[in-house]
């Protein structure tokens, strides 16, 4: 068993290659091998969002607070709010982020594959975000 007090959790700024806008990432769990699970608390300022990306083993989002948007490639933009959970299947190309006028805080849970936990693509354009 390993307990990480909240005061020792690491928080960093979301890398600009992966995000548009102001984003913070706080590590909840980065399990040591052979486990592969990661749980991250991700905070998005209004209008902030991920780039298009996939996860080799899928991803779960659990919305803690605020309002957000999610979209899978070829699908319509869906609104999400507190208590909502989203499942993205393995290799499903998608993005997620805050609503234009509200912040979003969600927990992202995924497993790390042999080449990492995510494969990042192009940024979501303002036109794609606003559609």
- Domain annotation covers residue 69: yes
Domain count, the chain: 1
Can you give the residue range of the structural domain that contains 88? Answer: 12-130
Q: What is the pLDDT of residues 31-44, one digit of tens each?
A: 888 999 999 999 99
We report the CATH number of the domain holding residue 62 as: 2.60.120.10
- Domain annotation covers residue 54: yes
Q: What is the 3-state secondary structure (H, E, C) of the chain?
A: CCCCCHHHCCEEECCCCCEECCEEEEEEEECCCCCCEEEEEEEECCCCEECCEECCCCEEEEEEEECEEEEECCCCCEEECCCCEEEECCCCCEEEEECCCCCEEEEEEEECECCECCEECCCCCHHHHHC
Q: What are phi and psi of 58, to 5 degrees?
A: 90, 175
Taking the CA of residue 35 as centre, how many other CA atoms within 13 Å lie in the half-sphere pointing to its CB? 8
- Taking Cα atoms as reference points, which of 114, 126, 121 lies closest to residue 34? 114
The residue-averaged pLDDT of 46-56 equals 98
pLDDT above 70 as % of the chain: 99
Q: What is the pLDDT of residue 121?
A: 98
Cβ atoms of residues 106 and 63 within 8 Å:
yes
Residue 131 has pLDDT above 90, yes or no: no
Average pLDDT, the chain: 96
- Domain annotation covers residue 7: no
Q: What is the pLDDT of residues 57-106, one digit of tens each?
A: 999 999 999 999 999 999 999 999 999 999 999 999 999 999 999 999 99
């Amino acid at each position: 068993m390993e307990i990480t007090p909240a005061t020792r959790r690491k928080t960093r700024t979301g890398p600009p290659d992966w995000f548009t806008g102001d984003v913070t990432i706080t590590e909840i769990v980065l399990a040591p091998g052979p486990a592969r699970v990661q749980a991250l608390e991700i905070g998005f300022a209004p209008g902030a969002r991920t780039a298009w990306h996939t996860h080799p083993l899928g991803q779960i989002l659990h919305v803690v607070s605020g309002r957000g948007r999610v979209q899978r490639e070829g699908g319509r933009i869906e609104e999400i709010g507190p208590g909502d959970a989203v499942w993205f299947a393995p290799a499903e190309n998608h993005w997620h982020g805050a609503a234009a006028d509200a912040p979003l805080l969600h927990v992202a849970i995924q497993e790390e594959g042999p080449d990492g936990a995510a494969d990042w693509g192009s940024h979501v354009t303002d036109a794609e975000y606003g559609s």
